[in-house]
């Protein structure tokens, strides 16, 4: 199984090194990266990983390139034999709920073409001289069910089963229902680290939010980066001879039962949505019938007129 | 009333005798078993019940064909064994009625209805100290929310029982039954199915590897196969095991509960105890677990609809191409 990450480098370079090292240890086999900003710092990091043979820089064609994600994904398939493609930014850390990202994706039943990952937003406040990731220890909790301001898709991100003609459309993952997503269970979590540290929040305010349940202490990402970081150079370790330096815990039944509550809170499946889905399907059937029956009638008339 | 049990089994020598003994004591009159190429002594166990006149063994081989085999046995129960009611089981499942004996419960079903569903209650593997599985495995999952992970052995589901019908069709896993004669009672679960899917490392690995190559390779079996191929079975099985600290955490969280019913019932059958196990007292978890099954079914329905959607989109695309020509 080949897992490729496509990466569009956004406006900050500070997380890039940690991001690449983390995912190569989490089961990603190869990265295709595009850097529309042509920044010297990121270029240097990308070139270093490219020299290691685990990354390829995709030529950039400007920030408005709408087919960039699709083109990178197709390259992942055609030249790197991808079975799954994860489209990411350097601020998103994809955390498997299993031994590795590969391990989690390998057992997804064939009928699902999209696996959705659950977004967790970390709000860090990096202090002077602190290594990257040390402040990523507090994240927002999921909105309460029915709070209404978050559609399920805002809380989720797609991973795609790869195919030669695949299209990656950030606005329509299923391409109008042409791909089946795995609904209501999210075997990967995404730790999205905030782009600008919310310096306005004091430690006391954060403690209050933790006490109220709006924020949650979660040290998994920080601990993983500590494991990978070389204290002497500040760099991060890559897998050695294909062996990861990270050990992701496999959730047990108690973990899964807790996580099920969060998955349910996303609210992706309920009677209202099911009803909407069914009505949409009915309308489409009606539209097809409206086209098909006149054609059938015309064909029958033609047959009837034909001399026997 | 004659109650017949069907059973699909392959290499389950550690549990099959207890399963048959339990059901014969719980009111089952006769067992029909499809024995799928067993090589671990299961065949000999089944033959011993056959000699006693309690069981009909049907040897089956080759690729697993779960639904057709279950359907065949359920129809035989009607046509050749005079069944009134049929329960469809696996070797790791124990039907326990909720209030009264199994036969009493089925006798209470209105004449217009003929298919009912029992609620599966999944027991978790506990550390293996060499004791019999029912003595060790007395903790089960009681999740108030459905675990919709397609690779989890603990997804909520139901098992079908039905009045005898020579035309009945049983689905894979016996989760549904369809009959032109009988209506189904969907939202009343007269019995629990106490389910013991994984009991030891060896059994988990053997079952997973075998089933992953079968007719419906579920994610839970693929996980076992991958672990076995990678030489990581021990590590992976440890993640499934519920040790004492995990149990305490689960009990505090409400996702794990103690349930001695099968242990007590089997002790009573062996004459080791006067406690009968058997019919359970009111169990608050059954309400939330019934709701979880309903939620899980909604998710299954939505996933099914997604698959229909793909077919629909393909038709629309074809129609569009035809118009363009």
| C-beta atoms of A256 and B307 within 8 A | no
Domain membership of residue B323 (yes or no) is no
Per the CB < 8 A criterion, the answer to whether A132 and A228 are in contact is: no
Per the CB < 8 A criterion, the answer to whether B262 and B277 are in contact is: yes
Position of tokens 């980066």?
A: A225
Here the ipTM equals 0.90
SS3 letters for chain B? CCEEEEEEECCCCCCHHHHHHHHHHCCCCEEEEEEECCCCCHHHHHHHHHHCCCEEEEEECCCCCHHHHHHHHHHHHHHCCCCCEEEEEECCEEEEECCCCHHHHHHCCCCCEEEEEEEEEEECCCCCCCCCHHHHCCEEECCCCCCCCCCCCCCCCEEEEEECCCCCEECHHHCCEECCCCEEECCCCCEEEEECCCCCHHHHHHHHHHHHCCCCCCHHHHHHHHHHHCCCHHHHHHHHCCCHHHHHHHHHHCCEEECCHHHHHHHHHHCCCCCCCCCCCCCCHHHHHHHHHHHHHHHHHHHHHHHHHHHHHHHHHHHHHHHHC
| C-beta atoms of A263 and B143 within 8 A | no
Domain membership of residue B266 (yes or no) is no
Per the CB < 8 A criterion, the answer to whether A183 and A269 are in contact is: yes
Alpha helices in chain A, H assignment, sequence order: 16-26, 40-51, 68-80, 101-106, 203-212, 220-228, 253-266, 271-305
Q: Which residues contact A186 (CB under 8 A, 6 or more apart)?
A: A115, A116, A117, A118, A156, A263, A266
Instruction: Give me the pLDDT at residue A151, please.
Output: 79
Compute how many other C-beta atoms are within 10 angstroms of the C-beta atom of residue B206: 17
A3-30 pLDDT per residue, tens? 999 999 976 678 899 999 999 999 999 9
Which residues from A are below 8 Å from B303, CB to CB?
Answer: 180, 182-183
Instruction: Give me the pLDDT at residue A146, please.
Output: 55
* Pairwise CA distance, residues B155 & B143, whole Å: 10
Which residues from B are below 8 Å from A286, CB to CB?
Answer: none
Compute how many other C-beta atoms are within 10 angstroms of the C-beta atom of residue A197: 14
Position of tokens 């977004």?
A: A119
| C-beta atoms of B305 and A263 within 8 A | no
Average pLDDT on A107-135 reads 88
Same domain, B8 and B53: yes
CA B160 vs CA A41, A116, B81, B181, B192: distances in Å: 63, 32, 19, 15, 11
Domain membership of residue B279 (yes or no) is no
Task: Give the best residue of B122, B227, B302, B315 to mutate against chain A (max A CB count within 10 A).
Answer: B302
| CATH code at position B181 | 3.90.550.10
| Phi then psi dihedrals of residue A115, to 5 deg | -110, 135
Low-confidence ranges of chain B (pLDDT < 50): 279
Percent of chain A with pLDDT over 90: 60
- Per the structure, the count of domains in chain B is 2
Start-to-end Cα distance in chain A: 60
Same domain, B121 and B73: yes
Instruction: Give me the pLDDT at residue B267, please.
Output: 96
CA B190 vs CA A53, A258, B96, B232: distances in Å: 61, 28, 9, 41
Joined together, the tokens standing for residue A163 give: 């195919």
Domain membership of residue B214 (yes or no) is yes
* Pairwise CA distance, residues B233 & B236, whole Å: 5
| C-beta atoms of B236 and A250 within 8 A | yes
A237-246 pLDDT per residue, tens? 999 988 999 9
In CATH terms, A3-269 corresponds, of 3.30.70, 3.30.420, 3.90.550, 1.20.1300, to 3.90.550
Cα dihedral B86→B119→B150→B294 (10° resolution):
120
Per the CB < 8 A criterion, the answer to whether A117 and A186 are in contact is: yes
What is the DSSP secondary-structure string of A47-82? HHHHHTTSEEEPPP--TT-TTHHHHHHHHHHHHH--
CA A12 vs CA A9, A15, A24, A308, B103: distances in Å: 8, 7, 20, 77, 69
pLDDT at A199 over 60: no
- Last residue within a domain, chosen from B158, B177, B195: B195
Instruction: Give me the pLDDT at residue B181, please.
Output: 93
Task: Give the best residue of A27, A158, A184 to mutate against chain B (max B CB count within 10 A).
Answer: A184
Query: Number of A:B CB contacts under 8 A?
Result: 130
Same domain, B75 and B28: yes
Q: Which residues contact A284 (CB under 8 A, 6 or more apart)?
A: B312, B316
Q: Which of A89, A297, A75 lies closest to A192 in space, CA to CA?
A: A89
Same domain, B9 and B26: yes
A45-96 pLDDT per residue, tens? 999 999 999 999 998 876 677 799 999 999 999 999 999 999 999 999 999 9
Same domain, B47 and B189: yes
Same domain, B128 and B212: no
Q: Which residues pair with A139 in a beta bridge?
A: A122, A216
Q: Which of B22, B25, B263, B255 lies closest to B146 in space, CA to CA?
A: B255
Instruction: Give me the pLDDT at residue A145, please.
Output: 56
Instruction: Give me the pLDDT at residue B286, please.
Output: 86
Instruction: Give me the pLDDT at residue B277, please.
Output: 53
| C-beta atoms of A257 and B146 within 8 A | no
Domain membership of residue B123 (yes or no) is yes
A67-77 pLDDT per residue, tens? 999 999 999 99
Instruction: Give me the pLDDT at residue B253, please.
Output: 93
Average pLDDT on A206-223 reads 90
Which of A111-125, A203-217, B15-29 ranks highest by mean pLDDT?
B15-29
How near does any CA of chain B get to the CA of A131, in Å? Answer: 33
Domain ranges of chain A: 3-269, 271-308
- Last residue within a domain, chosen from B242, B269, B303: B242
Instruction: Give me the pLDDT at residue A144, please.
Output: 61
Would you tell me which residues 101-130 of chain A have a C-beta closer than 8 angstroms to some C-beta of chain B?
103, 106-109, 111-112
Joined together, the tokens standing for residue A80 give: 């790197």
| C-beta atoms of B255 and A254 within 8 A | yes
CA A297 vs CA A306, B317, B324: distances in Å: 14, 22, 20
pLDDT at A38 over 80: no
Same domain, B95 and B10: yes
| Nearest Cβ partner for B152 among A177, A256, A271 | A256
pLDDT band at A152 (very low <50, low <70, confident <90, very high): confident
Same domain, B124 and B62: yes
Q: Does A43 touch chain B (CB under 8 A)?
A: no
Position of tokens 């709006």?
A: A214
Per the CB < 8 A criterion, the answer to whether B171 and B184 are in contact is: no
Joined together, the tokens standing for residue B228 give: 């076995």
pLDDT band at A292 (very low <50, low <70, confident <90, very high): confident
More confident position, A273 or B106: B106
Per the CB < 8 A criterion, the answer to whether B303 and B56 are in contact is: no
Same domain, B16 and B137: yes
Instruction: Give me the pLDDT at residue A294, please.
Output: 81
Domain membership of residue B321 (yes or no) is no
Cα dihedral A14→A17→A20→A25 (10° resolution):
-130
Instruction: Give me the pLDDT at residue B215, please.
Output: 67
B274-299 burial, b for 16+ CB within 10 Å, e for fewer?
eeebbbbeeeebbeebbebbebbbbb
| C-beta atoms of B255 and A258 within 8 A | yes
Instruction: Give me the pLDDT at residue B323, please.
Output: 79
Domain membership of residue B39 (yes or no) is yes
Would you tell me which residues 190-219 of chain A have a C-beta closer than 8 angstroms to some C-beta of chain B?
none
Q: Does A296 touch chain B (CB under 8 A)?
A: no
Domain extent at residue B204:
200-242
Same domain, B226 and B104: no
Domain membership of residue B20 (yes or no) is yes
Same domain, B50 and B98: yes
Instruction: Give me the pLDDT at residue A87, please.
Output: 97
Interhelix angle A40-51/A16-26, nearest 10 degrees: 30
Instruction: Give me the pLDDT at residue A149, please.
Output: 55
Neighbouring C-alpha atoms within 13 Å toward the C-beta of A145: 10
Instruction: Give me the pLDDT at residue A39, please.
Output: 76
């Amino acid at each position: 199984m080949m897992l490729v990450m496509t990466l569009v480098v956004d406006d900050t370079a500070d997380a890039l090194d940690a991001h690449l090292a983390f995912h190569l240890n989490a089961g990603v086999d190869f990265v295709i990266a595009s850097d529309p900003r042509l920044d010297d710092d990121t270029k240097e990091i990308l070139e270093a990983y490219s020299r290691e043979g685990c990354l390829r820089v995709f030529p950039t064609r400007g920030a408005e390139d709408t087919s960039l994600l699709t083109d990178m994904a197709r390259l992942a398939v055609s030249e790197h034999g991808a079975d799954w493609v994860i489209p990411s930014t350097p601020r998103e850390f994809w955390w498997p709920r299993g031994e590795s990202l590969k391990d989690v994706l390998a057992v997804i039943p064939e009928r699902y073409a999209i696996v959705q990952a659950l977004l967790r937003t970390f709000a860090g406040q990096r202090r002077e001289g602190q290594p990257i990731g040390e402040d990523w220890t507090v994240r927002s909790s999921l909105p309460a069910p029915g709070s209404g301001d978050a559609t399920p898709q805002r809380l989720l991100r797609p991973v795609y089963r790869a195919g030669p003609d695949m299209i990656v459309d950030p606005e329509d993952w299923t391409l109008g229902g042409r791909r089946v997503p795995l609904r209501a269970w999210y075997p990967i979590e995404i730790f999205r680290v905030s782009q600008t540290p919310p310096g306005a929040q004091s430690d006391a305010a954060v403690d209050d939010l933790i006490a109220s349940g709006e924020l949650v202490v979660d040290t998994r990402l920080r601990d993983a980066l500590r494991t990978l970081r070389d204290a002497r150079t500040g760099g991060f370790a890559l897998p050695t001879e294909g062996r990861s330096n990270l050990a992701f815990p496999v959730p047990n039944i108690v973990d899964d039962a807790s996580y099920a509550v969060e998955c349910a809170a996303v609210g992706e499946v309920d009677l209202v949505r099911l009803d909407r889905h069914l009505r949409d399907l009915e309308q489409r059937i009606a539209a097809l019938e409206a086209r098909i029956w006149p054609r059938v009638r015309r064909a029958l008339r033609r047959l009837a007129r034909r001399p026997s | 009333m004659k109650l017949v049990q069907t059973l699909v089994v392959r290499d389950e020598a550690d549990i099959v005798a207890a399963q048959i003994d339990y059901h014969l004591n719980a009111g089952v009159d006769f067992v029909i078993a499809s024995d799928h190429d067993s090589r671990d002594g299961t065949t000999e166990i089944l033959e011993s019940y056959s000699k006693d006149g309690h069981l009909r063994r049907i040897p089956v081989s080759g690729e697993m064909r779960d639904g057709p085999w279950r359907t065949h046995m359920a129809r035989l129960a009607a046509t050749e064994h005079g069944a009134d009611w049929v329960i469809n089981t696996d070797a790791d499942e124990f039907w326990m009625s909720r209030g009264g004996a199994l036969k009493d419960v089925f006798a209470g079903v209105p004449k217009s209805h003929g298919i009912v569903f029992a609620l599966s209650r999944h027991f978790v593997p506990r550390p293996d100290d060499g004791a019999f599985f029912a003595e060790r495995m007395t903790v089960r999952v009681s999740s108030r929310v459905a675990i919709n992970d397609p690779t989890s052995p603990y997804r909520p589901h139901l098992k079908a029982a039905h009045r005898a019908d020579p035309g009945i069709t049983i689905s894979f896993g016996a989760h549904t039954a369809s009959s032109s004669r009988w209506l189904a009672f969907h939202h009343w679960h007269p019995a629990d199915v106490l389910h013991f899917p994984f009991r030891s490392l060896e059994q988990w690995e053997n079952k997973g590897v075998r089933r992953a190559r079968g007719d419906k390779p579920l994610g839970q079996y693929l996980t076992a196969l991958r672990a076995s191929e990678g030489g990581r079975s021990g590590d992976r099985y440890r993640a499934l095991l519920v040790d004492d600290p995990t149990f305490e955490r689960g009990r505090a969280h409400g996702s794990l509960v103690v349930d001695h019913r099968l242990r007590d019932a089997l002790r009573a059958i062996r004459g080791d105890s006067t406690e009968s196990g058997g019919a359970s007292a009111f169990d608050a978890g059954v309400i939330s677990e019934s709701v979880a099954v309903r939620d899980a079914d909604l998710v299954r329905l939505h996933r099914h609809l997604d698959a229909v959607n793909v077919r629909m989109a393909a038709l629309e695309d074809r129609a569009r191409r035809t118009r363009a020509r």
